[in-house]
Amino acid sequence: MNHLHTSLKALVVLGLLACATVAAAQPKTTNGILTDEKGMSLYVWDNELTAPGKVLCTGPCTITWPPMLAKEGTQASGDFTLMTRDDGILQWAHKGRPLYHSANDKQPGDHKGDGFRGIWHLVKP
């Protein structure tokens, strides 16, 4: 029974990741903060300042903080760059910092992740 529970839990996590990490076009500024093309707020994680150029939010971290993935064939420009995650998938970055959504934001304009644990912040270009 424990093995079945673990397998079901893993499937749920994978399903959440698949839903939460939809590829998007280049970020934009909406009301003074960076958002995706749907107006959902974008965040950076202070822990990644310790490893410039590397994406550290992987595995279970992406359940709460889904990465803003790039659409295939996307071209970066200006302050926006693309970073390659450990799984080979491209993720948007702003000024070299990987961008994330907050799973707690449910509609455009939400910014419930801002200031979480003092290390997650809205991006205000």
Q: Is the pLDDT of residue 123 over 90?
A: yes
Instruction: Answer whether residue 8 shows pLDDT above 90.
Output: no
With a cut of 70, say whether residue 82 has pLDDT above it: yes
The token pair at 77 is 């420009």
Q: Where are the domains of the chain?
A: 2-122
What whole-number distance in Å separates Cα of residue 76 and Cα of residue 93? Answer: 9
Strand 69-70 and strand 80-84: pairing? unpaired
Per residue, what are the HEC states of 77-121? CCCEEEEECCCCCEEEEECCEECECCCCCCCCCCCCCCCHHHCEE
The pTM score is 0.81
Average pLDDT taken over every residue of the chain? 86
